[in-house]
Amino acid sequence: MKTATAKPIATTENVEDSALNELFIDEIKDLYWAEKHLVKALPKMIKGATSAELKTTIENHLRETENHITRLESVFDSIGEKAVAVKCEAMAGLLKEAEELLTETDKGTMTRDVAIISAAQKVEHYEIASYGTVKTLAGVLGYNEAAELLEATLAEEKNADALLTQVAESTVNTSAKSEKK
Question: For Fe ion, which is the closer residue by CB, 68 or 135?
Answer: 68
- Residue ranges in 126-165 that form contacts with Fe ion under rule CB under 5 A: none
Under DSSP, the state recorded for 178 is: T
CB of 82 to Fe ion, least distance (A): 21
**Among the residue ranges 14-22, 65-73, 95-103, 143-151, the one whose residues contact Fe ion (CB under 5 A):** 65-73
3-class state of residue 142 by DSSP: coil
Q: Of 106, 149, 148, 101, which is closest to residue 121 (Cα–Cα)? A: 101
Which helix H or strand E contains 170, and what residues bound it? Answer: none
Q: Tell me which of 29, 55, 68, 71 binds Fe ion, using CB under 5 A.
A: 68
Question: For Fe ion, which is the closer residue by CB, 38 or 176?
Answer: 38
**Among the residue ranges 59-67, 88-96, 116-124, 143-151, the one whose residues contact Fe ion (CB under 5 A):** 59-67
Q: Of 120, 100, 153, which is closest to residue 43 (Cα–Cα)? A: 120
- Compute how many other C-beta atoms are within 10 angstroms of the C-beta atom of residue 7: 5
Q: Which residues bind Fe ion (CB under 5 A)?
A: 65, 68
